[in-house]
Structures are given as C-alpha cells and as structure tokens.
C-alpha cells in the first residue's frame, strides 16, 4: 500500500494490496477498500462503505483542444456517504456526491457535478455524464448511458442499455444542451433511446427499444420508432 | 506479487507484477497471469490458461437495501478450464464456470450462477447477468448485454451491442423473471433488442436493430420495430 | 514501480505508483503516467502526454480455436504522439497509432491496425475494432461501437452508443467483411445502428435511433427503422 501521511483512517478499515491513497483523503469506520484502488486527493468516504478492486476515485476531468465544453476546474472533492457499495474497475470523478446506501456496479464511470440520492442503484458498465441529478431509489440498469444535463427523479426505473442525448444539433454549436427530464416513477424499457430535452411524465412507461422523440404524458405508454403513445 | 502461502501453482506459471493471489487458489501448468491481477479465494484455474492485466477473478456479489433480488451467498469458487483466454480489465464472479477454450474479451463482466460451454467467445465489454446458460461454439460479440435467466444454445451468433431483458413489468414486483431462449444456430443482428421470455427458433435470423417482441419461428427472418417476420 | 532497465525516459516524466513499464519503451518529455499503468514492450510515447490510472498500453491480440479471423502476429509497437490524453482503465493494442492531441476517454478499448488522426475524441467506454481508419477532428461519443474494416473521415460526429457491423452474413463464412464508410462532416445521432458496407454521404445526418440499411446521400437526413430519407 501507499498511503499518504495526511490520510485520516477510521477504525476497522481494511485496505487492499497495492492501494494508493493520496493526500488529504478522509475515510470513516468499517470501510473495506479493494486491491489496487486509487483514491485521489481530498476524497471523503463515510462509514461502512465497500470499495472494490481497481477503482479510481476522485479523478479530475481532462480535455483536448477540440473539446467545445471545457470541464470545470474548481470541483469539490468526491463525497461518498455511509453504506455506499462500489464495484470493481469503477471511475468516479471529483465533484460527484453519492448519498447513503447508493450501489455502484462494476466498470461504471460517473463524471463531475452530479448528485445521486439515497439507495439508488447504478448498474454495471453504466456511464453518467456531468451536470446531472439522480433521485432516490432509482434503478439505472447495466450498460445505460445517461447524458449530461439530465434530471432523473425519485423511483425511476431505467432498463439495461438505454441511451440519451442532450444536443439536438449534434455539436454544431447551435442551441443549448439539455438532457431528458424523467419524472418520478417513470419506467424506461431496455435499449430505449431518448432525444434531447424530452420530458417523460410521472408513472409513464417507455417500451423496450422505443425511440422517444417527443414528450410522454404522465401514465402514458409509448413504443416504436418513432415512439407513439398507445391509446 | 502477493501470493498466499496456501496457493497451489503448477509448473511454468508466470505471474505478473503486483498480482494478488488469495487463499486456496489452485493454478495448473503453463498459465500466464497479467500484471495487477486479483485472483480471489478458492478460484480454480486449469492448464494453458492466459489471463490478462488488471482482472478480478472470483468476486462475490454485493447488494444494497433497495435491491429486490438478493445475490446468492453460497457460491462455488470460480472454475476456469484448460486453454481459456481472459482479456484485460475483466471481472468474473464466483459461481461461474468456463469450459475448455472459452475466450473472454477485455473489459467483460460476468456474474454468478453461469456456465459457458467450450470454445465460446465473449466479446469485449460484454455484460452477462446471473443464472444463465451459454452453449458451446457461441459467439457473443463486443458490447452485448445478456440479461439474467437466459438460455443461449450451441452455435448461436449474437452481433455487437445487442440487449435483452427479463422482466416484463420492469421491477413492479409482478410476474416472474425470464430472459430470452435463443435456440441453436440462431443469428441475432447487431444492436437488436430482445424482450423478456422471447423464444428465437433454431436457425432463425434477427435483423440488425430489430426489436423482437414475440417468438420467432425456426428458420424465420425477422426485422423492424416491432420486428415482423419476413415472408 | 517496475521499470525495465532498457526504458528511455524524457525529462520531467512522472510515473505513478506500481506502474509497470516493459522492455524497450520510449517516453518523451513532460509525460504523466497514472498509478498501476502497464506499458508493454516497445511502446513509443511522445511529449506532453497524459496517461490515466490502470491502463494497459500495447497489448497483443489473443484468440481461441473458434475464432475465424486470426489476429495479425506482426504488429508495430503502439505509437502515441504528442499531447495525447488517455483516461483510466483504457486498453490500447499494439499496431495502433494515435496522432497529436487525440483524446481517449476512460474504459475505452482500441484494437490493432488502426490510425486515429489529430485532435479526435474517443468517448468513454467506446470500443473500436481492428483495421479501421478514423480522421481528424472526429468525435466518437461515449459507448460507441466501431466495427472492424471501417472508414470514418474528418470532422465526423457520432453520438453516444451507436453501433455498426461489418458482416452481412453474420459469421456464415460468406462474403467479405466491410464496415461502414462515414464521409466528412456527417453526423450520426445517438444509439443509431449502421449495417455493413453502408456509405454515409458528406454532411448527411442520421437521426437518433435510426437503423440505416442502405447508403445515405450527401446532405440527406435519414431516420426510422429501417431509416428513410426525409424529403
């Protein structure tokens, strides 16, 4: 292990082989940290957290010259609340906050400027872009892509491999970027596609494989390509 | 390296830098193990196996309070037969059995209670859920998602980025969970979507991007959203 | 760290904890290399390159008995030009060449016999197959799958989670393998599906979720399943 002298460790913390814990990290009680974990500067971890092998926690965003959207440079440290479970090979950015009991599957990557509320499940290999809010008791299943600038309210269910976008003009520099807004208790079927700025109403259901090009009223069921509301 | 004193190593085993091999692991002859590999308690590895860098082999499933389906707690060790090839950044769970000559691409994750038969290929970044049986000489291409409770028979071909689901009611607590049953020699085009409990007949062909909402007869060709059999 | 005695390091190179740098690797000036990085034999890295944690650079392709397409055995070393940025958990193969300023997101895997031109962005979790050419100032967003034998010209934009294929007969052994040819300035919407050998014309637009089964003329807009050109 390589643990910086400034790190604050609680009681009964288990740190895996070859883990790297950087300056100013604070770790609560009864936390387990996997082998080869990399926990970056300033990350704050609560009590009873389980962290898998080969994770990278607290990464800062990078960029190149072509990138139109420059990442934020001033970001608060990654904050992981009590009883969070994090799988293997996960990348979590600085500027992310995970509330109590959140579950993050293996191979997930989650960017900055995001809050994920209590007990929400993020399935394996899911990808979540910046500037997004995800409510409590949400399920985002394996392989989902959540675009930037998205709102997902409480108790939403998103099936595996769904995709979303936030830029109607596809990097033409026109318009603003707005992801979908998925209201409470909505259910999205597997492999569905949501276009930018779509609002999915409360308790609405989107069928598997649907391509949703316009708003879906509350409690409505929509399916097909383009998706049409079933009457 | 960190190799527990109880580990049994065959002859001509090469272990990469900073690998971690836990208690009770048994490794056959002429096995190569990549750098930073983590091989967990009790894993059994045959002869002539190639294991990439940064793998996690023999992980136990985790859960949080919201999760309806609690993972099995009593699982046999991960079993890897002779001549298996495993890529980099792979996560394989305890309770998985890989038969002779199976190929697992980079960045794959495979859960527990699964058997994968001889010479089958699992493409890079594929995600396979629990309680599933995959036959021999199957190809599951890059980026596929195989849901839980699925049967894939021998000689099936699944193109890249296909998705499946197993819960018609999307976590409403109604009905049972059943994934697709894909019969021998069926071919599934890239990016297809299969709904729960669908049966794809022997030698049937599903077109690229199809959304399959009902059973497909043997030798039939189906395409579209919803998919319709071509006459 | 484990750095082979033959490695040539420039000035102001920072190497992360537990990194493994193999025989004959050459690294330029002002390069940062993350923790647990594995840089394989002969890899050539320019100046001002940033490399994330847990990467595998310069991997050789593997295979099993079932695989019809045997990977090339004679491959030049992985070549990474100046100012390239590489995320965490990335796998790059031998026989890949990245031009100046390319950006590779986290969890990406890129195979052999590929050239990626200047300032192109490859989003997180993207998967790129062998024998492919990608132009300059291209954006391939998060979660995309680029099949083998593909040509992507300059200034193309590919939205998140798009998929492509290159084998019309799905491993039947008939026909040749040809991926799509996407011409300059074309834009592909998120979660679109492109069939083998499709040509997407210059400045053409493919809608989100479209399943493109035939060529798209230049400047045309196409959408639906199967996709139809909007008149």
Q: Which tens digit of pLDDT belongs to each residue from C36-78?
A: 999 999 999 999 999 999 999 999 999 888 887 777 778 999 9
Residue C73, pLDDT score: 74
Q: What is the pLDDT of residue C25?
A: 98
pLDDT at res. B160 = 98
> Is A147–C139 a contact, with Cβ atoms under 8 angstroms apart?
no
Question: Exposed, middle or buried, A211 (CB in 10 Å: 0-12/13-18/19+)?
Answer: buried
- Closest C-alpha among B208, B226, B231, B225 to residue B217: B231
d(CA C143, CA C155): 19
- Asked whether the predicted pLDDT for residue C168 surpasses 90, the reply is no
Average pLDDT over residues A108-126: 98
Asked if B16 lies within 8 A of C18 by C-beta distance, the reply is no
pLDDT at A30: 98
- Between A and C, how many residue pairs show a Cβ–Cβ distance under 8 A? 122
What string of H, E and C letters represents the secondary structure of C191-209? CCEECCCCEECCCCEECCC
Over residues A220-229, mean pLDDT: 97
Q: What is the pLDDT of residue A178?
A: 94
Chains contacting C (3 or more CB pairs within 8 Å) = A, B
Q: Which of A35-49, A162-176, C45-59 shows the lowest mean pLDDT across its residues?
A: A162-176
Q: How high is the pLDDT of residue B225?
A: 97
**Which pLDDT score, from 0 to 100, does residue C104 have?**
98
Neighbours of chain A (3+ CB pairs under 8 A): B, C
Query: C74 CA to chain A: closest CA distance, Å?
Result: 31
Scan for tokens 């499709």, then name that residue: C198
Q: Is residue B70 pLDDT above 90, yes or no?
A: no
pLDDT value for B184 = 98
Q: Which phi-psi region, left, alpha or beta, contains residue C65 (left: φ > 0; alpha: ψ -120 to 50)?
A: alpha
Check residue A202 and give its pLDDT: 98
User: Residues of A with CB below 8 A from B127's CB?
Assistant: 124-125, 142-143, 160
**Angle at Cα B40 formed by Cα B35 and Cα B42, nearest 5°?**
130
> Is residue A172 over pLDDT 90?
no
Return the pLDDT at B59: 98
| Band (B54; pLDDT cuts 50, 70, 90) | very high
pLDDT in tens, B196-223: 999 999 999 999 999 999 999 999 999 9
Q: Please tell me the predicted confidence (pLDDT) of residue C172.
A: 82
Q: Which band of pLDDT confidence, cut at 50, 70 and 90, is reported for residue A175?
A: confident
Query: How much is the pLDDT for B33?
Result: 98
pLDDT of residue C170: 86
* Cβ C32 vs Cβ A17: under 8 Å: no
Residue A104, CA distances (Å) to A52, B67, B140, B211, C3 in order: 10, 12, 25, 28, 34
Q: What is the mean pLDDT of residues C10-18?
A: 98
How many interchain CB pairs under 8 A, A with B? 122
- Name which residue leads in pLDDT, B174 or A76: A76
């Amino acid at each position: 292990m390589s643990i910086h002298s400034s790190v604050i460790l609680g009681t009964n913390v288990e740190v895996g082989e070859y883990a790297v814990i950087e300056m100013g990290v604070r770790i609560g009680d009864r936390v387990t940290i996997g082998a080869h974990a990399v926990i970056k500067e300033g990350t704050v971890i609560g009590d009873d957290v389980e962290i898998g092998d080969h994770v990278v926690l607290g990464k800062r965003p990078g960029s190149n010259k072509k990138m139109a959207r420059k990442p934020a440079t001033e970001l608060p440290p990654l904050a992981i609340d009590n009883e969070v479970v994090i799988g293997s090979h996960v990348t979590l950015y600085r500027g992310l906050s995970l509330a109590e009991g959140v579950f993050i599957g293996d191979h997930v990557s989650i960017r900055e400027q995001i809050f994920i509320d209590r007990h929400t499940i993020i399935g394996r290999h899911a990808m979540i872009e910046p500037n997004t809010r995800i409510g409590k008791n949400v399920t985002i299943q394996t392989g989902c892509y959540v675009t930037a600038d998205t709102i997902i309210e409480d108790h939403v269910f998103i099936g595996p491999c769904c995709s979303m976008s936030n830029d109607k003009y596809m990097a033409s520099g026109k318009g603003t970027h707005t992801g979908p807004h998925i209201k409470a208790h909505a259910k999205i079927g597997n492999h569905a596609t949501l276009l930018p700025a779509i609002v999915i109403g409360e308790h609405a259901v989107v069928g598997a494989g649907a391509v949703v090009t316009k708003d879906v009223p509350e409690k409505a069921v929509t399916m097909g390509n383009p998706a049409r509301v079933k009457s």
